[in-house]
Amino acid sequence: MASGDTLVSWRALDAELPIDDFATFGTLLAVQVGANDPVFPFLLYDDAVNRYAYFGATMPAHYSGGGVNVQVVWMSPATSGNVVWIVSFKRMEDGVQRLDNLFFGNETNGAFATDAVAHVIDYSTLAVSDGADLNLIEAGEYFWMEMFRDGDSGSDTMTNEARLLSIIISEQ
């Protein structure tokens, strides 16, 4: 496996939501020309609060075991400010992990500026180190990734919702 190769990708509609404090689903129709124009689904992360979503997958057999880059594809109606994205991983280790134990590994976070034009797509990358940050996930194992906006952080200065479209995980 080479650096930059895609391991997993999810769309907003692939999210699994918690009981409370969850991101909500929404759609955007940019310009309606005809009856069959597409709508674009997203997860809406409000400002000033923490919102969560979970994504599950199997780590591909070709994963080399190093760190990963989590690329968040998002947009906002806001035209200024930073959003704080945080990810953490949960390994589902054979013969060890229980579903009722919801421990996730270390958090990896970053503050990213929104575009100066509303609804312009932003690609923001969080570099997750191998080991404890990735919760020691191995090739072929099932895992969950927790994705949240730390809206009540002092570093999250964007006073509008962040709209998550997709997540792409690749090898570092």
| pLDDT the model gives residue 48 | 86
φ/ψ (deg, to 5) at 48 = 65, 5
CATH number at residue 75: 2.60.120.260
Mean pLDDT of 12-21: 91
CA distance 3 to 91: 22
Q: What is the DSSP string of 80-109?
A: S-EEEEEEEEEEE-TTT--TT-------EE
> Could you tell me the pTM of the whole model?
0.91
Residue 46 in domain: yes
| pLDDT the model gives residue 102 | 67
Name the domain count of the chain. Answer: 1
| pLDDT the model gives residue 32 | 61
| pLDDT the model gives residue 111 | 97
The Cα-based distances of 93 to 103, 132, 155 in angstroms read: 12, 14, 34
pLDDT in tens, 39-67: 889 999 999 889 999 999 999 999 998 99
Domain residues for 23? Answer: 6-30+38-171
| pLDDT the model gives residue 97 | 66
Instruction: Provide the pLDDT confidence category of residue 30 given band limits of 50, 70 and 90.
Output: low
**Residue-averaged pLDDT of the chain:** 90
Residue 120 has pLDDT above 70, yes or no: yes
DSSP-derived 3-state class of residue 163: strand
Mean pLDDT of 7-33: 87
Residue 1 in domain: no
In the numeric block, which tokens belong to residue 30? 């940019």
CA distance 15 to 167: 10
Residue 145 in domain: yes
Residue 34 has pLDDT above 80, yes or no: no
Instruction: Provide the pLDDT confidence category of residue 38 given band limits of 50, 70 and 90.
Output: confident
CA distance 76 to 160: 7
pLDDT in tens, 158-167: 999 999 999 9
pLDDT in tens, 80-114: 999 999 999 999 888 776 667 667 889 999 999 99
